[in-house]
Amino acid sequence: MSEIVFFAFAAGGGVLFLFYALVLIALLAYKKPEQDEPKGESVSVIVCAKNELENLKNLIPAILTQQYHDFEVILVDDKSTDGTYEWAKDLELKEDKLQLVRIDETPDHINNKKYAITLGVKAAKNDGVLLTDADCKPASDQWIKEMSAGVFKPGKKFALGYSQYMKKGGFLNQFIRFETMHTALHYIGLGLLGRPYMGVGRNLAYRRSLFLENNGFGRFSNVVGGDDDLFVNAYAKRKNTSVILSENATVYSIPKTSWKEFIVQKTRHLSVGKHYRKTDRMLLGILFIARILFWVCFFIAIMADFKTIFVISGFLLVMVLLLSAYFMLKKKTGDPSRIWTWPFLDFIYLFYYISMGLKVLFTKKVKWN
């Protein structure tokens, strides 16, 4: 029995070691696209909001003051009742770059968020579309410029950006930021390795022409969530996708302040995973099983005092690689998170992910805002 546990630990650790090593190498080798503005290329920034007036008052001015030669901002108001429409209508009269789109009714066949984005894309004048959420804020006035450098490279259709949550006090905030970087390590890492499978709508760019040619969200238009990761999963490929890692191109979001809100948000996000390509589901499944084997068999082997030196050495080797990959992602993006406690959070994450997976299985209906 002890030998089986040891080999299971070695197998799980081996898979994680290989993955983290490849991601670390990819992050070390990463170089940003040239920062010169793409000549003649214009951008449409799309923000969809529902009752987000206070957040919009912070976000929209930050976008309007971006340093880029030609862009517009399209604000899609989804039936807000908090004064968003009146505020935005007044601002639209003052700002030539701002265009307001109002939704009074959403068709039954499409999810609210996807319908809002679809109207925003259709209203856009430019082929470069850059998305963020109402509760976000770019880290600098170079955000449009740097994300555009990725999506306007020859042959590119997508630019995957990094988004982190704002740093606040408490364990919940620390866990949210860990979970966000953990997710980013996977989608950014696999994107750099030529296997893009998702992006985050808080910081994502793609070509309007690609969206329209493929009938927008098409076959998953009625799925709640997935307006970012399912669209990327369906059409992003090795050759048509850029990854943008930069302190200036990072977007920060307002984090949830209660576990209940956080769990509702993550239930919506995780519920779309079953719609990923089969190969992506298999790859993510292998990584998750490897993590289970690694942590569970590590503790069993230590308690059984079986080949302790080898087990501890293997554990430390994987942890060093994991922290190195986190550190490099943190360095490339300017993320201020402290990562010295993250091996502990990686262990906690195992139970979180199992419990969330079970919750998703038994949740019949999720919604956007």
59 and 186 share one domain: yes
Q: Are residues 222 and 174 in the same domain?
A: yes
- Nearest to residue 129, comparing CAs of 144, 140, 107? 144
* Co-location of 161 and 302 in the same domain: no
CB 17 within 8 A of CB 11: no
pLDDT of residue 353: 80
How many folded domains does the chain comprise?
A: 2
336 with 203, same domain: the answer is no
- Which pLDDT value is given to residue 354? 82
Same domain, 87 and 212: yes
CATH number for position 206 = 3.90.550.10
Could you list the residue range(s) of the whole structural domain that residue 342 is in?
2-27+278-362
* Segments in the chain below pLDDT 70: 34-40, 359-369
298 with 194, same domain? Answer: no
Residue 253: strand, helix, or coil: strand
Q: Residue 148 burial (CB < 10 Å; 0-12/13-18/19+)?
A: buried
Residue 273 domain flag: no
Residue 42, domain member (yes or no) = yes
Residue 268 lies in a domain: no
pLDDT at 342: 82
Q: Is residue 272 part of a domain?
A: no
- Say how many Å lie between the first and final Cα of the chain, rounded: 50
Specify the pLDDT at position 38: 58
Is there a contact between 76 and 122 (Cβ–Cβ < 8 Å)? no
Q: Are residues 54 and 184 in the same domain?
A: yes
Asked if residue 211 belongs to a domain, the reply is yes
Is 8 in the same domain as 113?
no
β-partners of residue 103 are: 78
Residues 7 and 66 in one domain: no
Residues 176 and 253 in one domain: yes
Q: pLDDT tens digit string along 52-72?
A: 999 999 999 999 999 999 999
DSSP lists the bridge partners of residue 117 as: none
Q: Are residues 147 and 85 in the same domain?
A: yes
- Judge if 21 and 36 occupy the same domain: no
Residue found under tokens 């908090």: 82
pTM score: 0.90
